[in-house]
Structure 1
């Protein structure tokens, strides 16, 4: 064997070993043992600033359980009392009914632009219906976006409770969504706090009822009315567990630069490239208009959607091009919502997509999926066009006292489409 051949073999082996060090096998899901607190590498950067009396920005990214004036507000107040010399700033980044899939897209706007020191991530309930692989993609994207923005930012996962989660928790196992998140947390050394486990334990000890239609006995905590959203006493339990976890991590955590963890993603399809882009007049045709600042919907939702654009004339279009794999709209659904024809790369969707559903007795933030799984290296063209017909509104009838009359009222008439931003995994092409 000559010298050149020997060097070539050595180089090939070195290349193989180098690739093996950065390319892990795809993760496999399995149920993870439930533990109240898993400090892992802790929140050392935050603890250092708290103890030094510095400014500390704490973000709460989650769904309606976090959006409520409950554990989020109580935890901020506890931090302020526990570290009186520090200046605690709360970043409220929770939206009801949303999971980590939307969280990955709105992270920059709602969290990162405010320069957080610590980010609590609470999606174990709203991600409950998603598959582990889907959860990993969006949660991995959230983690990697945070540390790409600032590797000194600490992250902590919080797992909240809903009825039926007790079935797994009684076996000392996490429900599927929390188990999926725990596997990712292990990979990155992210601490987690399982407040759901505490609720299940108290119920087993006959100290708490998940929900009840009748008054509970004295000394028994009524957790919620619906089995999901805690009453004040339930939020108080959440806060006590979180406070205990922070105290524990304050004694063990050391400051960490998380940048080295970005070398090895947990999954290949992580949503680090998820972003939101404002609408531009050049994308629009028809009778689109910007809602004025004093419009009731702009005042109510502008903080999340930014400038809202509205159109209702059939044939009005939103058209844009992008290079990437996925696109959606960050929009509103409501009682006067219309329906749209979506066309991607010249191929129209088989069915019209309504911006109305069985909950639409009111307006709320939603997402309109346009395209997924596209070739990320190609330029794609997307068109969203308002249809002339209203969507079927009978699905909301069971929520109305007099549906036959109410569905004829002006409230439930219209073909209106209201959009805040484009959600992309990729880059907009002018």
Structure 2
């Protein structure tokens, strides 16, 4: 080989390496999703729900899960859709899996999908988070929704998934332009990637309002021929839920002619986003993590009976200085806890650095108790062990934010109902692994 070749060899290798860097960075850029608004359609069948429809037509046992927020938690379109399925396929054995929690989005859904949905072995999972994810950025929605999708198919690659986009006031501005609101647009882009069917029931509500057949909400009685959708512009009344169900039923009928059974396993080779939350999990608390006056709520405790099905064993403490301490290696941690009228506030410390502000477990909705999440740390270094401490503060949080919900706030806020520093926790939410 000529000596000149060896002189040129370093230059040739340099050029090859530069071309490789540019080409791979180009591919990485191309593979990174870019948000844009998406045209709104009532139904996008994509690859359909063929596995479910096959089992229904064969009169087999079919489990249908409804993962969502308060719109799905209500005895509305969820119950009505199950009823329609039973009437449309009377010989099949259809079971409903109620997996909806009011006031929660896909960011909690990714952590609870295993316990609330997958342990029940669903054949079809309706996912409804377009309203509760409305305030989140598309990139954040993609991470949690991609995590939900991938967990479902990792558990059972023959389970079908269908996205449902519900309505809230102000979504009509985009819908009147023929566009999906931001959260639904973000979900549509992910649905395109995976071939997941979607049903845009919000579009139907906007169309009926434009036709003069429906009012989103009204303080005065409406004419008999006009449908009053809701009282608050978000949660449908019975007729609103009926419209949702009719659109979903029509969509399923449409998919009967286009859907074929499919194994979705191959779709897991290429995620939609690299930061997907497919590793999200729930970890129960145990006594070794606790100090202070923590106690397990008894089985007959009102809160344990009401929320234990979702949260598992609930632990309660109210003594200032009582702590939860745990160590983990991973990127994210939170607590699965309760907010309530007697809720206290906590000091969070991660890796020796206390948060700048106390975190109350009380807000303007707290005339009652409800499930919530307490963020502890996000985007943490995955290669080191993190130490997290949550400590009850002696001072009660300011409760004035709830005043507008009370008839006599000055008197009621002094009542025992609104006193206390109680903290109630079910599980730790992790993207990572606990370290003893």
When the two structures are superposed, what TM-score results if normalisation uses the length of structure 2?
A: 0.94
Which residue in 2 is equivalent to 1:284? 290
1:233-312 mapped onto 2 (5 Å cutoff): 233-312=239-318
1:105 aligns with 2:111: yes
Q: Which residue does the alignment assign to 1:346?
A: 352
CA distance in 2: counterparts of 1:143 and 1:23, whole angstroms? 23
Q: Alpha-carbon deviation of 1:22? A: 8.7
1:386 aligns with 2:389: no
1:348-427, aligned counterparts within 5 Å? 348-427=354-433
Rounded Cα–Cα distance in structure 2 between residues aligned with 1:277 and 1:377 = 20
Paired positions, count? 427
Q: Deviations over 1:180-207 (max 9, x none)?
A: 0001100110000000000111111111
Q: Deviation at 1:429? A: 1.1
Contact 1:104 / 1:271 at 8 angstroms: preserved in 2?
A: yes
Q: Secondary structure at the match of 1:106?
A: helix
Distance apart, 1:386 and its partner CA:
0.6
Matched, 1:429 2:409: no
Secondary structure (helix, strand or coil) at the match of 1:252 reads coil
How far apart are the structure 1 equivalents of 2:253 and 2:298?
A: 47
Deviates more, 1:116-125 or 1:395-404: 395-404
- Equivalence for 2:229: 223
Mapped contact 1:357–1:395 kept (Cα < 8 A): yes
Q: Which residue of 1 aligns with 2:183?
A: 177
The answer to whether the aligner puts 1:69 opposite 2:72 as a matched pair is: no
1:117 to 106, 118, 123: 123
Runs of 4 or more, structure 1, over 2 Å off, are: 1-5, 11-25
Local SS of the residue matching 1:275: strand
**Structure 1 range deviating more: 17-26 or 282-291:** 17-26
Structure 1 CA distance, aligned partners of 2:215 and 2:408? 35
Pairs within 5 Å for 1:12-31 = 24-31=30-37
Aligned-residue RMSD, C-alpha:
2.1
1:37 paired with 2:43, answer yes
Q: What secondary structure is seen at the aligned counterpart in 1 of 2:276? A: coil
- The SS at the match of 1:367 is strand
Deviations 1:249-298 (A, max 9, x none): 11110111111111111111111111100001110011000000000100
Distance 1:223 1:406 in 2: 33
CA distance in structure 2 between the aligned counterparts of 1:20 and 1:270, rounded to whole angstroms: 21
Unaligned 5+ segments in structure 1 are none
Query: For residue 81 of structure 1, what is the aligned residue in structure 2?
Result: 87
The superposition leaves residues 335-374 of structure 1 with CA deviations (integer Å, 9 ceiling, x where unpaired) of: 1111111000011111111111111111111110101110
Displacement of 1:25? 2.5
- d(CA) in 2 for partners of 1:79 and 1:409? 48
TM superposition score normalised by structure 1: 0.96
How many Å separate the matches in 1 of 2:24 and 2:256?
A: 37
Aligned partner of 2:161 in structure 1 is: 155
